[in-house]
Structure 1
């Protein structure tokens, strides 16, 4: 029997199998990184909203303490 097709087919299956394994692994890792990035950006947005709320309250209290007119026209 001719040994060339057996060697080449075996080599091709090994190369394609390894490539598919790493492609699936890479896509799975990218999905995990995306989830982590979304979670971090959500935390940053929440911290920013809380800081903005406290800044607004601080400004209101300071303006009231200084006797500024805070009524709408």
Structure 2
């Protein structure tokens, strides 16, 4: 009998079981915390705003880079 499937399936079950245990424990611990939800909400909104601003700046920078690259190489993009 092959021993590799037995070892790998056992390892997989141990890893998934451990992961599920810690996921349930983390969610339970989050539910029992009594922190100020308004501060947490503000922090999340502030972080989301920063991510959105960085994304927009990166998008503009990529657009400008593409425009100047097209101009420099002389590509014809007339429709």
TM-score (norm 1): 0.58
Higher relative contact order (CA 8 A, sep 6+): 1
1:29 maps to 2:29: no
Q: Map Cα deviations across residues 27-61 of structure 1 (whole Å, 9 max, x no partner).
A: x6111101000001101100110110010000010
Q: Which structure 2 residue ranges, 5 or more long, are not aligned?
A: 1-33
The 4+ residue runs of structure 1 with deviation greater than 2 A are none
Corresponding residue to 1:62 among 69, 73, 79: 69
Count of aligned positions:
46
CA distance in 2, matches of 1:29, 1:70: 54
TM-score (norm 2): 0.54
CA distance in 1, matches of 2:65, 2:38: 41
**Aligned Cα root-mean-square deviation (Å):** 1.2
